[in-house]
Amino acid sequence: MNKQQKREMNALTGALKGGEISRREFLRMAGLVVGSATATAVLASCGQLPSGASNQGASANDRIRLGLMTTLSGLGSIHAPPTINAATLAVDEINKAGGLLGRQIDLLIEDNHTDVDIAVQKGLKLVQEKEVAAFVDFGFSNSRFAVAEKVSLPYKTVMLSPIFYEGGICHRYFFNISALPNQGIDPFVPWLMQEKGAESFYGIGSAYAWGIGSIDAVEKAVGNSGAQFLGREEAPLGTTDWSAIIQRLEAAAPDVSFVFVAGNDLVTFLKQFFDFGLNGKTQLAFTYFQEEVTPTIAEEYRAGHLSANTWFLSFDSPESQKFLEGYYQVAGPGELVTNFGEATYDSVKMWANAVQAAGTLDSEKVVEALKGSEFLAPQGNVKIDPKTHHAAVRGLIGESTTDPNVFNIVADLGIIDPVPPQECDADSVTA
C-alpha cells in the first residue's frame, strides 16, 4: 500500500473497531482502496473475521471451534476471499439452525501464507492452542501434504480439503472434497479429442506436486487415448519470465496445451502467452481456470478457453441458486465466488452433518460418520467413498466467454466416483 492507501485503511480500521461501520461495509470500502484480498487480510489482523452468528449468554467453553486455513497472503492470495466467505456462510447457516449438538460454532481463520512451513505452524496452532474440533485446509499441494502428515495424522484431527489435487494423501483423518485426476483430467482428454478434434497435447505446470502430478496424469490419459504427447514444461513457483517456455510451446505447435500454473503465477503466464500472439494457435485447457482469473485477461483474449471444474457460477440448479443467495448476503452482492468457495462450503456442511450424526465431537466417531456420507451440494450429490475418504464430485467442462463471470457449460459428465492414482485404504493409515 502507498501512503495515501495506508491513511485511508487506518481510518477505516478505526471506524470498524469503533463500531461505526459493519464488517461488510469495511470490506466494500477497503476493497476499493487496496483490493478485496488485502482488505480481508486486514480484517483478519483486526480479529474481525466473521465467526458465525452470535450466541448471547454462551461462554467460550460452550462453543465449538472449527479451523480454516487459507491463502490470505503469498502466491495464492487470489483464492482466499471466496473460501472465507463460503465457510462463513456455512457456519452462519448451521448456527442459525441451532448449531451443533446444541452449541454454536466459531470459525477460526489462519493465514498459511501459501508457505509449507508456515502452514504446518498454523495447523499446529489450530490443533494445539485453539483445540479445534476439525479444520478445513485450503492450501497448495506441497503444504497440504505437510499439514496432513505433520498435523492431522499425529493429532488425529479431521482435515477436509476443498481443492482438486493430483492424489497421494491417504490416512484415516484426511477427507478430500474435490476432484482427483480421474474426475477431471481423465475424461477431459478424450472429450477434447472427440469434440475438438485434438490429436496432440502439451503440458505446462508449476514445479511442485500439483503441477508435476497433473501433467503426469495428462501424459497418461493422452497415451491411453492414442494421441500424441509432445512435451512438458515445469517452472518454479514465482516465475516471472515465461518467454522461453512459451517459445518452446509455440515451436511444438500442439492442438491442446494443458496449463497447470498455480495462483497468481497463472495471471503472469497468460499475459505473456497473449502478448506473444499465441491466442487461438493452441487450445488452452485447465483444471484451474475460473471466475477469479478471467477478469485479469483483456476482453479480446478472454473467450474460448476450456476448464474442467466441479462447479461454475453458471451452473444452474436449485441448490446452486440457494447457495449464491446466501453467499451474496454474507459477502455482498456480486462478490466473487468460485468452485473453491463452493467446495469449502460443502466441506463445512459435510463435517457438521457427520458431527450431528455421530452425536459427539470425538474424531474417531466423526470419521466413521463421514465415511459414506452424502450431501446435496450446489454442484449436486457429493458422496465420500468410505475406503479412500475422497469424494464423488461433478465433472463439468466450461468454456470462458467475454463476460468474466460466465462460463458456458459445454459438458456435464455427472457425478464421478473417485479413483486415487495410488492404492488407498485410508483406515489402514493411523497415527
The 10s digit of each residue's pLDDT in 166-199 is 999 999 999 999 999 999 999 999 999 999 999 9
Closest CA to 390 of 350, 331, 353, 336: 350
Mean of pLDDT values over 268-288: 96
Q: Which pLDDT does position 368 carry in this prediction? A: 98
Mean of pLDDT values over 312-330: 96
Proportion of the chain above pLDDT 70, given as a percent = 86
Mean of pLDDT values over 347-369: 98
Q: Which pLDDT does position 61 carry in this prediction? A: 60
Proportion of the chain above pLDDT 90, given as a percent = 83
| pLDDT band, residue 27 (cuts 50/70/90) | low
pLDDT one-digit tens code per residue, 393-409: 999 999 999 999 999 99
Statement: residue 22 has pLDDT above 60 = no
Q: Which pLDDT does position 51 carry in this prediction? A: 41
Q: Which pLDDT does position 20 carry in this prediction? A: 45
Q: Which pLDDT does position 1 carry in this prediction? A: 47
Q: Which pLDDT does position 181 carry in this prediction? A: 96
Mean of pLDDT values over 151-158: 98
Range with the poorest average pLDDT among 54-63, 95-104, 422-431: 54-63
Q: Look over the chain and give the mean of its residue pLDDT values, rounded to a whole number.
A: 89
pTM of the model: 0.86
Q: Which pLDDT does position 266 carry in this prediction? A: 95
Statement: residue 229 has pLDDT above 80 = yes
